[in-house]
Structure 1
Amino acid sequence: MVVTVIGLIRFGFSLLFGVAVSVLFAGIELTRKNRLIIGLICVIFLFIQTACWWFLGLDLTSKLYPLIIHLPLIVIFSLYHKRPWLISTVSVLSGYLCCQAPRWVGFLAGAAFGSRLANHVFYIGAVFLSYYFLKRYVTRSVRQLMEMSNKSCLLLGGVPLFYYMFDYATTIYTDVLYRGTEWAVQFMPSTVSVFYFVFVLLYYSETQKQASIQRERDMLDMQFRQAQTEFASLRQMQQNAMAYRHDMRHHFALLQGLASKEQIEEIKKYLRTAQSDMDTITPMRFCENETVNLILSSFAVKAHQSGILLTVEARLPDALPFSDTELCSLLSNALENAIQASENIADSKERYIKLRVYAKNNKLCIDIRNSYHTEPIFHEGLPVSKKQGHGFGTKSMAHIVEKHGGVYQFSIKDGCFIFQATT
């Protein structure tokens, strides 16, 4: 009688353990409400399980288990807790697989003590230890793998699915495994080994892909920080120009002193120096937007130093739907690429950059055309560079335009490289 009661308790603990592990793997947040709902579900399942065992017997209840427990649990995870169907299914299958370790511990204890009661008691104890171990050390990794991609989730669910089908086919619906049939004995070891190596290969490929994506993000972040630094430098240049203008009275005082002494050559020399200083620090004015003026002034100097003819047509209001850093990153990357493409042309007369930037219907429109020495290669609509560490500027530009719901295009026409964007 005691063995029968403990056996029933074991049956209940098996259900609770499987549900609890499935909840952990599915990534269901354990809020107070969810705990109550899951507890209620467990009570209902226990009632259904007990009723089936009482009226249908243990053997038939085991055969109906996928319909009365596993399938409803997947549906609840998906429809009520809003978890993806694939993750819900893999979580339940994985929970079923995790029940096998306590079963094995109970079997060893029963065989060692020659007692069915020892089997049940050690099984229940192993359930608590297994849950603690899975929650503390395994759950986080399983969730990350399942949510990484559908491919990763399918791969992770491969072994639990095959084991689930194998276990029901060979031990519950039939007794093929217990008869020692050779194909049944060899099936799971072979399946596990195949999935192990496939998992290693695909997981390595997936981690390499994720690492590549992370490297691109890091490079884009670095470019963004560089844009912030460059814009701060341009702002400082503007402040210097304002300070220089503020100090004009001191320059006039000095010039008056030199004039009173009739030192004409000293006056000319001082004026040349002052003119040069002011040209260096005073931004040119292209439009009403001060940020764009600063950026274009900086690149006008760079283009002149590289012997490139830069023509600018800018008609922009003071306010734009971009942060100063985003605007700096977008225009700086575009103009930097244009200068690099043009400066390698041998004939300086062929080096040119034409920039049109204007506002239309509350949208920013950019059109940049430049000559180039080497025809660019395109991949998925973006020009790519063969040089290590290059090619992230165009990705940064595309990211900024897409972030603001705009469209862009890189193209070549009549020996001219063209970048156009509207956002």
Structure 2
Amino acid sequence: MKGEIMLNPLRYAIINIVMFICLLLTFFSLYAPKEGTKLYKPACVVLIAADLGFMAYVTYAKGLMAANNLLLVIWIVPTFFLFIFFSKYNIEKYIVAYFSSLLSVTLVNSLGFIAVHYFFGWQQTAHLLIRCGLMITVTLVMRRFIKKPFSKALESVDKGWKLMDVVIILFFLLSIIFFVYPKPFTERAGEYGFAVLFIITIYCAIALVICTILNMSKENEKRMAEAQRRNELRIDSIKLEQMEQQYKTMMDTLEQTSVVRHDLAHHFLVIAEYCRRGEYERIPVYLETLNFQNVTDEVKVYCRNYTANIIFSYYAWLSKSENISFACEADLPEDVLPNEMELSVLLGNALENAVEGCRKAGKEKYITAKIRYEKHKLIMDIRNPFDGVLWIHSGTLQSTKEEDLHGYGMKSMQRVVDKYNGYLAYFKEDKEFILQIVLICIETI
């Protein structure tokens, strides 16, 4: 363009170098290499050094302006193939990350050129400061607001990337054609208005691509959360059925025990009559007809709460049958919780876990349970021997049992605790596992 002073090569080189750095930083905001790839960083260093070396050679042979004009070509081709080799994700995801970063920086540089040239002409300092400032701003925005959600989308979304590739590559090719053909757009001042509209359109397309990906990620997270919620509800339902069945089994067992104990008086009368008549040979035959297999202790009175007494009695009997020392101190009112099944969930799961821990312990097997109600608080402390490692994932204790439904007992207890604004804590102290539960804001009925 006649009468206009072009940018001098040095300032042009500075702008291109800033663009090169911003391209790398923006790309690394959206890109993730394979984990454990030791050659990734050295390869990046070698690539950058090779690019700079080639630019220095072109500068020496052809001049600084020739090197400036070749910068993007020098950077785009080798980096595209180098980074895709180390890419953590498949090629569809990689292409979107690569060309989104490329377009976001190069287009804002072009937009800055048009704005500065329109208001300041070829003023050297204005071009340098404003164009570099715009590229740095876009880079910081990408790193601040796009990096984390975009990375999450790359991890969680698996569909729709091919369509995004078509859109982003199409706009990249259109931008190259527009800004280069039939001559560089810097020499087509009459088309600056259309160029601004074109750049804004491409930016809207990039924003649409990124927003679509992020929305897909959010929808995927919602579906996963809903699926997890439904699965937990299903597990809770199954667990509740198990607890109800276990409760029924305990009741049946203890009821059978009471019946047998009640009938023992009559059996003793028969045996006493055999003895009085001297018919001793009939005593063994009579005893064999009796079934003492289900004879256990009666429901012991540990506290005033009947549900707690049943559960304590059942696990006392179970512990005795497995040579586990069982000690229980309980002080609970008759109606400590509005829903007795919730008390059964807490005590049943806690004692079941304690028995399971004793089964894996060494010679010393014991369960100590202290449960009391005071000042509108239900306080539980249950201990058993433990000589292993606590497996905790996402703040939740993981079971070492192999069955699918195991490991949900602690979750069931946690839900009851959360309902009553309490807390649940578990930890290992020496060779002892300690479970502590406190439910607050409870008033007896």
Residue 220 of structure 1 pairs with residue 241 of structure 2: no
Distance across 1 between alignment mates of 2:228 and 2:396: 17
Distance across 2 between alignment mates of 1:272 and 1:324: 40
Distance across 2 between alignment mates of 1:273 and 1:414: 50
Give the structure 1 partner of residue 176 of structure 2: none
Distance across 2 between alignment mates of 1:273 and 1:297: 27
For 1:183, which of 199, 212, 228 is the aligned residue? 199
Q: 1:304 to 1:243 in 2, by over 3 A?
A: closer
Residue 352 of structure 1 pairs with residue 352 of structure 2: no
Question: Higher helix proportion, which one?
Answer: 1
Three-state SS of the structure 1 residue aligned to 2:295 is helix
Three-state SS of the structure 2 residue aligned to 1:239 is helix
Distance across 2 between alignment mates of 1:304 and 1:312: 13
Give the structure 2 partner of residue 417 of structure 1: 433
Cα deviation, 1:167-222, whole Å, max 9, x if unaligned, reads xxxxxxxxx99999323444444433332233223322332233223322322232
Give the structure 1 partner of residue 3 of structure 2: none
For 1:292, which of 302, 308, 333 is the aligned residue? 308
Give the TM-score taking structure 2 as reference length. Answer: 0.48
Shift of 1:352: 1.6
> Partner letter of residue 358 of structure 1?
R
Give the structure 2 partner of residue 401 of structure 1: 417
Give the structure 2 partner of residue 367 of structure 1: 381
Give the TM-score taking structure 1 as reference length. Answer: 0.51
Of 189-198 and 290-299, deviating more is 189-198
Shift of 1:252: 4.7
Residue 192 of structure 1 pairs with residue 208 of structure 2: yes
Equivalences for 1:85-164 in 2 at 5 Å?
none
> Partner letter of residue 287 of structure 1?
C
Distance across 2 between alignment mates of 1:186 and 1:278: 80
Three-state SS of the structure 2 residue aligned to 1:258 is helix
Shift of 1:269: 6.8
CA contact (8 A) 2:424 2:438 kept: yes
Give the structure 1 partner of residue 248 of structure 2: 232
Cα deviation, 1:88-126, whole Å, max 9, x if unaligned, reads xxxxxxxxxxxxxxxxxxxxxxxxxxxxxxxxxxxxxxx
Distance across 2 between alignment mates of 1:270 and 1:289: 39
Shift of 1:360: 2.0
Shift of 1:225: 1.9
Shift of 1:330: 0.8
Q: 1:287 to 1:366 in 2, by over 3 A?
A: same
Three-state SS of the structure 2 residue aligned to 1:368 is strand
> Partner letter of residue 355 of structure 2?
I
Give the structure 1 partner of residue 335 of structure 2: 319
CA contact (8 A) 1:366 1:422 kept: yes
Shift of 1:247: 4.2
Three-state SS of the structure 2 residue aligned to 1:307 is coil
Give runs of ≥4 in structure 1 deviating > 4 Å: 176-180, 245-250, 268-275
Three-state SS of the structure 1 residue aligned to 2:424 is strand
CA contact (8 A) 1:240 1:281 kept: no
Give the structure 1 partner of residue 152 of structure 2: none
Distance across 1 between alignment mates of 2:313 and 2:432: 23
CA contact (8 A) 1:237 1:281 kept: no
CA contact (8 A) 1:315 1:359 kept: yes
> Partner letter of residue 367 of structure 1?
D
Q: 1:221 to 1:324 in 2, by over 3 A?
A: same
Three-state SS of the structure 1 residue aligned to 2:244 is helix
Q: State which structure, 1 or 2, has the greater radius of gyration over its C-alpha atoms.
A: 2
For 1:310, which of 321, 326, 340 is the aligned residue? 326
Q: 1:263 to 1:355 in 2, by over 3 A?
A: farther
Shift of 1:230: 1.4
Distance across 2 between alignment mates of 1:177 and 1:239: 91
Q: 1:405 to 1:273 in 2, by over 3 A?
A: farther
Give the structure 2 partner of residue 138 of structure 1: none
Three-state SS of the structure 2 residue aligned to 1:276 is coil
**Coordinate RMSD, CA, aligned:** 3.2
CA contact (8 A) 1:241 1:281 kept: yes
Of 410-419 and 282-291, deviating more is 282-291
For 1:209, which of 204, 222, 225 is the aligned residue? 225
Distance across 2 between alignment mates of 1:255 and 1:408: 54
> Partner letter of residue 376 of structure 1?
L
Equivalences for 1:51-66 in 2 at 5 Å?
none
Shift of 1:288: 3.0
> Partner letter of residue 361 of structure 1?
K
CA contact (8 A) 1:288 1:318 kept: yes
Cα deviation, 1:301-336, whole Å, max 9, x if unaligned, reads 322333322222223333322422111111111011
Three-state SS of the structure 2 residue aligned to 1:279 is coil
Give the structure 1 partner of residue 4 of structure 2: none
Give the structure 1 partner of residue 50 of structure 2: none
Shift of 1:280: 2.9
Q: 1:225 to 1:254 in 2, by over 3 A?
A: same
> Partner letter of residue 412 of structure 1?
K
Residue 267 of structure 1 pairs with residue 295 of structure 2: no
Three-state SS of the structure 2 residue aligned to 1:181 is helix
Q: 1:272 to 1:257 in 2, by over 3 A?
A: same
Three-state SS of the structure 2 residue aligned to 1:263 is coil
CA contact (8 A) 1:289 1:319 kept: yes
CA contact (8 A) 2:380 2:437 kept: yes
Distance across 2 between alignment mates of 1:274 and 1:398: 44
